[in-house]
Structure 1
Amino acid sequence: MRIDVVSLFPDFVRQCAAVGVVGRAQQRELLQVETWNPRDYSSDRHRSVDSSSYGGGPGMVMMIEPLRAALAAMRDAAPEPAHVIYLSPQGARLTQGRVEALAKLPRIALLCGRYEGVDERLLAHEVDEELSIGDYVLSGGELAAAVIIDAVGRLQDGALNDAQSAEQDSFSDGLLDCPHYARPVQDALGTVPAVLLSGDHAAIARWRLKQSLGRTWLRRPDLLSQRVLDAKSRALLDEFRREHASQGQAREEPSRQDDAVE
């Protein structure tokens, strides 16, 4: 897969994409990340890429011509058509499902805005999709581009040492991930659940699904409202709720006794 990034800060993008799983994916030639600086395509001696906004108001707006020229050079650099994404808080919310769909494309291009944004005419004619990584405003699209590069890059076949890692991630099946534990078994902070030490793969799978359902119910109930649970999942979620309620009562008992002593 190839990802092209149009950005005023190409070094930042390249550095983010050079480490970890994404860096390894590039070394394995599973992923190619290229950058394009609009300043290189500016037509004046100051390498201008922005101007004041028509209608007044604070801030500058990125101009059409340098971006259009950068996008044209980007498209001509490889034969595959590029799906162009503008990174904007006004875009659709990025989800794991959208990441998985993007990861199947041969080539995407990420357009990083700065200042007050990009001339609307360029967005209307040169951009295929707008995406947002959250309901907040950043100084530019580079951090959002790094997020998409990482999320998409790690899904390329062979990028992860264990392919099941991606299958078991949060949101991969519409649920949050279950808790995970590492050595040692016993620590002052607690003990690893016995079921994970049992070697009973069926019991471990059942526990993990129950914890995944329970965590989603506690932290992201909106995700559960979008799913139709089968009978097994409903039973496991009910079991988690009962256990959660009993644990809450157990924590309250000592405080009640302390109040009585006082």
Structure 2
Amino acid sequence: MHIDIITCLPRLIESPFNDSILKRAQTKGIVEVNIIDLRPYATDKHKSVDDYAYGGGAGMVMMIEPIDRCLTELKAKRSYDDIIYMSPDGQLLTQSLANELSLKKNLVLLCGHYKGVDERVREHLVTREISIGDYVLSGGELAAAVVADAVVRLIPGVLSDETSALSDSFQDDMLAPPVYTRPAEYNGWKVPDVLLSGHEAKIEQWKHDHALERTRQRRPDLLKKHQ
């Protein structure tokens, strides 16, 4: 997979890709992440990427021309499956959407900032908009990092145990069951006996039952999909 991330604040997003799973995925050559500074695509001497909104109102708006120039250059090099604008009113990021995007080959993540982008960017230049929740961030950089992390970890070969991602919360529209590790007893708090039994069928049934109960208690809305 190849991911290009367009931002006017590249240092804000570099850190998540320099450690842990995202770093290992790049080292293995499974994914290539390219963080692109938008400012060199500005046309004035001040490298401005934003301007005042027509019609007035508070906040600056990212201009269409630098974004279009950047995307035009990128699209001359490869064909993209999706050009995604990180937006608070976009499609909500879910595990099923992350699964879908993990099958793509080339993605662009466009990070908004200030008051957002010129509406013509949304109308003509992007193919999809994604939100990570019903709240507003200072910019799309952190949201883009979240999307990249959720997607990249699903690509075969990224995780040392590929079944790990398949057992995460939300993969089957339920929360994950409780998990334990050594020691088997600590301060009088014991790991459930069934998990120490070695009886695979009973363990799987225990996990299913507790995943279902945890979902019922914490996210009953997810159970509507099963019903």
TM-score of the superposed pair, with normalisation by structure 1? 0.84
Provide the aligned C-alpha RMSD in A: 1.1
Match of 1:46 in 2: 46
* Structure 2: distance between partners of 1:16 and 1:71: 23
Match of 1:96 in 2: 95
Match of 2:118 in 1: 119
Instruction: Pick which of 81-90 and 158-167 moved more.
Output: 81-90
In structure 2, list runs of 5 or more residues that go unmatched.
Answer: none
Report the CA distance between 1:85 and its aligned residue: 0.6
Distance 1:169 1:69, change over 3 A: same
- Paired residues of 1:37 and 1:70 also in contact (CA < 8 A): no
Instruction: Pick which of 164-173 and 186-195 moved more.
Output: 186-195
Report the CA distance between 1:73 and its aligned residue: 1.8
Give the 4+ runs in structure 1 shifted more than 3 A. Answer: none
Match of 2:60 in 1: 60
Match of 1:190 in 2: 189
- Paired residues of 1:53 and 1:61 also in contact (CA < 8 A): yes
Report the CA distance between 1:158 and its aligned residue: 0.4
Match of 2:5 in 1: 5
After TM superposition, the structure 1 = structure 2 runs for residues 153-192 of structure 1, keeping only pairs within 5 Å, are 153-188=152-187, 190-192=189-191
Q: Tell me whether 1:110 sits opposite 2:100 in the alignment.
A: no
* Structure 2: distance between partners of 1:74 and 1:208: 46
- Paired residues of 1:83 and 1:128 also in contact (CA < 8 A): yes
Specify the SS of the correspondent of 2:226: coil
- Paired residues of 2:5 and 2:111 also in contact (CA < 8 A): yes
Deviations 1:225-258 (A, max 9, x none): 1113xxxxxxxxxxxxxxxxxxxxxxxxxxxxxx
- Paired residues of 1:85 and 1:110 also in contact (CA < 8 A): yes
Report the CA distance between 1:95 and its aligned residue: 0.4
Residue type at the aligned position of 1:11: R
* Structure 2: distance between partners of 1:216 and 1:181: 18
Residue type at the aligned position of 1:166: A
Report the CA distance between 1:76 and its aligned residue: 2.3
Specify the SS of the correspondent of 1:136: coil
Residue type at the aligned position of 2:114: Y
In structure 1, list runs of 5 or more residues that go unmatched.
Answer: 229-262
TM-score of the superposed pair, with normalisation by structure 2? 0.97
For the pair shown, the structure with the greater C-alpha radius of gyration is 1
